[in-house]
Amino acid sequence: MEEATSTIPYDNLLKILLIGDIGSEKRRLLQTYMGEEEFSDTTTLGLDYKLKDVMYGTKRVKLQLWDTAGQERFRSVTASYYRGAHGALLVFTLTKETSFVGLNYWLDEIENNAPVKFQVILVATGYDDESLQVRLDIAEQFAQEKNLKLVKCIVTDPASVESTFSVIIETIMSSWEGSQSVSESIRVDSTPTERDDKCC
């Protein structure tokens, strides 16, 4: 398999945001997807930005993955990151009711800032935890009311995380193709290229 470098051409570039309240586990979700062996619980300050190459069928796709800060003081800053974005994983955890309540704020942000054809997948973490504060059926009802696809994810399980990212990639790509099918496979092509940008 050929080595991924920034000079290798790609067929599509996808800008995908990870959004949600602080404590929603979106940072760990991204760390697992990037293959990081040591997890950091450090709160994202402003922005964490990484690159990754994947294959969508026969197409080489470069991902720009933006983990936006969930803290109140950064929310006005992150609005600009919607510019040019193609989709988002809206992440909350069933173990913290506040992260579920905060979903309405993020959906309003998306409505006010996201471009046309912006795709959103709702991601529920913590469902494998015993200390649940939000029932899964309530989350499923919320997703249905908001016309969102709900994906359950174990953020420390690489297979579960990769499946979650595959859903948003396939949803974006299939919307471009005007197809109802999202059956094409997504696979990691090689060791990802990444960069950390943090602002305060």
In this prediction, residue 38 carries a pLDDT of: 57
In this prediction, residue 199 carries a pLDDT of: 39
pLDDT higher than 90, residue 178: no
pLDDT higher than 90, residue 32: yes
- The enclosing H or E element of 99 equals helix 97-101
* CATH superfamily entry for domain 12-188: P-loop containing nucleotide triphosphate hydrolases (3.40.50.300)
> Hey, is 137 helix, strand or coil?
helix
- The enclosing H or E element of 136 equals helix 136-145
Mean pLDDT of the chain: 81
Note the pLDDT tens digit of each residue in 129-160.
Answer: 888 999 999 999 999 999 999 999 999 999 99
Q: What mean pLDDT do residues 126-130 have? A: 87
Nearest to 56 by CA among 154, 194, 195, 176: 176
How many whole angstroms separate alpha carbon 48 and alpha carbon 70?
12
Amino acid at 173: M
Beta strands in 21-177 (DSSP E): 47-56, 59-68, 87-93, 119-125, 149-153
Lowest mean pLDDT among 25-29, 39-43, 103-107, 129-133: 39-43
Note the pLDDT tens digit of each residue in 112-125.
Answer: 999 999 999 999 99
> pLDDT grade, residue 77 (50/70/90)?
low
Tokens of 172: 């974006």
CA dihedral for 175, 90, 168, 13, sign (positive or negative): positive
In this prediction, residue 176 carries a pLDDT of: 83
pLDDT higher than 60, residue 104: yes
**The model's pTM:** 0.82
Radius of gyration of the chain (CA): 16
In this prediction, residue 128 carries a pLDDT of: 86
- Cβ atoms of 194 and 188 within 8 Å: the answer is no
Strands 186-188 and 149-153 turn out to be unpaired
The domain segmentation of the chain, as residue ranges, is: 12-188
In this prediction, residue 9 carries a pLDDT of: 83
Lowest mean pLDDT among 78-92, 95-109, 126-140, 175-189: 175-189
| In the chain, % of residues over pLDDT 70 | 74
> Hey, is 173 helix, strand or coil?
helix
In this prediction, residue 35 carries a pLDDT of: 92
From residue 30, give the alpha-carbon distance in Å to each of 26, 48, 134: 6, 9, 23
pLDDT higher than 90, residue 187: no
- Cβ atoms of 9 and 60 within 8 Å: the answer is yes
